[in-house]
Amino acid sequence: MPIFSKTVKLIQLCIMKKIAFQRRLLKWHKEQNLRQMPWKGEKDPYKVWLSEIILQQTRVEQGMAYYQNFTQAFPNIQSLANAHEDTVYKLWEGLGYYSRCKNMLKTARLITLENKGKFPDTYDGLVKLPGIGPYTAAAIASFCFSLPYPVMDGNVFRVLARVFKINLSSGTSEGKKYFSQLAGDLLDHQKPGLYNQALMDFGATVCKHALPLCVGCIFQNSCGAYLENKVSDYPVKSKKIKLKERWFTWFIFCHRGKIYIQKRTSKDIWENLFEFYLLETNQSKDWSEKAVMKWLASEFESMELSAIRIYPAQTQKLTHQLIHARFIEIMIQSPIKPQKQFKGNWVSRKQLDHTGFPAMIRNFLEKSIMLS
Ligand code: SF4
């Protein structure tokens, strides 16, 4: 067969495969997709943006309540932009990845100030905003403005990797390039929003990470991974990230019903959230009452104590860090002298409930009966 006709055949095959993929997916979406989410079908870019920012690194089930709370507290971008930072962080508490919250506020203020609260209606305008990457920009562009940009989330990567048997990790630059080329080729340019939603939902409910529903799947007779009985091999994983270990000791200073808290202001995890007095060490530290007294004497001017309580150590795994933490409660008897270390605030136990803390501290507060 001449090379020319071979190429034409290959192109025809690719076009047919692409059309078949789109058709089956959209048919499934119309007839079988039962996934309900409060932001589904939403055209208001503020609400779509809010849902996408909340859902970055967060499961839909967890994100739903946050979405409801945010849209109730801030029904439009202006109200979010005008809100006090601490109120917004408090509402975000427990979601983690606090840089998302910081960028969300920045974007809300930028759009309100510079664009009278109107979201840009182009992909390029959206992707320039703080905290809006290609994924979120594609979601807003396709859902709200019907622009032909494919949304690439974990669900989409998984479906494409399995159906098209892609031996590249989406975590590598080569993989990213390949996946976005393929996703762009497959996209339905007439209905980009509908198609994107269908693909994401299909990945989340049928071609799931664990136990995909291959029996009866619409792609069963064309899915490369399934036909070779290699579904569990896809998507190809990237190399494991080495976690950085950190050791935190939080001293809970209590005095006459007040507790000392301070804001985390440096460019680090949990920026803008509150915490107790922190000592970070580069290795694990064995705390005894004697060791606490010795540390206090070296760190502060003398203070009379009535009790010390040392809580068991605990750990929390973040994306790139492993945090080992210990809480030590210290009841101060003598009046508090102004000490340069106490730059934060003394607040009541009740006020702690209205303060934004990292999940580790919030969990501690919920489970512990403090002395104060
Ligand atoms: S056959 Fe299985 S692996 Fe393939 S697309 Fe369907 S659910 Fe996913």
Residues flanking ligand 1, CB < 6 Å:
159, 162-163, 206-207, 212-214, 217, 219-220, 223, 225-226, 231
Q: Whose CA is nearest to atom 4 of ligand 1?
A: 223
pLDDT over threshold 80, residue 172: yes
The atom number, within ligand 1, closest to the CA of 217 reads: 6
Rounded Cα distance, 107 and 88, in Å? 13
User: Does 366 qualify as catalytic in the annotation?
Assistant: no
pLDDT tens for each residue of 213-267: 999 999 999 999 999 999 999 999 877 778 899 999 999 999 888 999 999 998 8
Q: How large is the C-alpha radius of gyration of the chain?
A: 26
| Ordered alpha helix ranges (H), 98-190 | 99-115, 123-127, 134-145, 154-163, 173-186
Region 313-342 average pLDDT: 86
Parallel, antiparallel, or unpaired: how do β-strands 274-275 and 277-281 relate?
unpaired
Q: Supply the pLDDT for residue 370.
A: 62
Average pLDDT, rounded, for the chain: 90
Q: Supply the pLDDT for residue 151.
A: 94
Report which of residues 16 and 193 the model is more confident about: 193
- The verdict on domain 7-233 having CATH code 1.10.580.10 is no
Parallel, antiparallel, or unpaired: how do β-strands 305-310 and 258-263 relate?
unpaired
* Amino acid identity, position 345: N
CA of 59 to the centre of ligand 1 (A): 21
Q: Supply the pLDDT for residue 372.
A: 53
pLDDT over threshold 80, residue 142: yes
Region 132-153 average pLDDT: 95
Of 52, 93, 275, 329, which is the active-site residue?
52
Query: Which class for 136: exposed (0-12), middle (13-18), buried (19 or more C-beta within 10 A)?
Result: buried
Q: Supply the pLDDT for residue 72.
A: 97
pLDDT over threshold 80, residue 12: no
CA of 237 to the centre of ligand 1 (A): 17
pLDDT over threshold 70, residue 7: no
Tell me, yes or no, if the two domains 7-233 and 244-367 fold the same way: no
CB-based contact 234:161 (threshold 8 Å): yes
Q: Supply the pLDDT for residue 306.
A: 81
Candidates 3.90.1170.50, 3.90.79.10, 1.20.140.10, 1.20.58.60; CATH matching 244-367: 3.90.79.10
pLDDT tens for each residue of 88-119: 999 999 888 888 999 999 999 999 999 999 99
The structure's pTM equals: 0.74
Rounded Cα distance, 137 and 104, in Å? 13
Instruction: Report residue 10's pLDDT band, with 50, 70 and 90 as the boundaries.
Output: very low
CA of 130 to the centre of ligand 1 (A): 36
Region 319-346 average pLDDT: 85
Per-domain boundaries in the chain:
7-233, 244-367
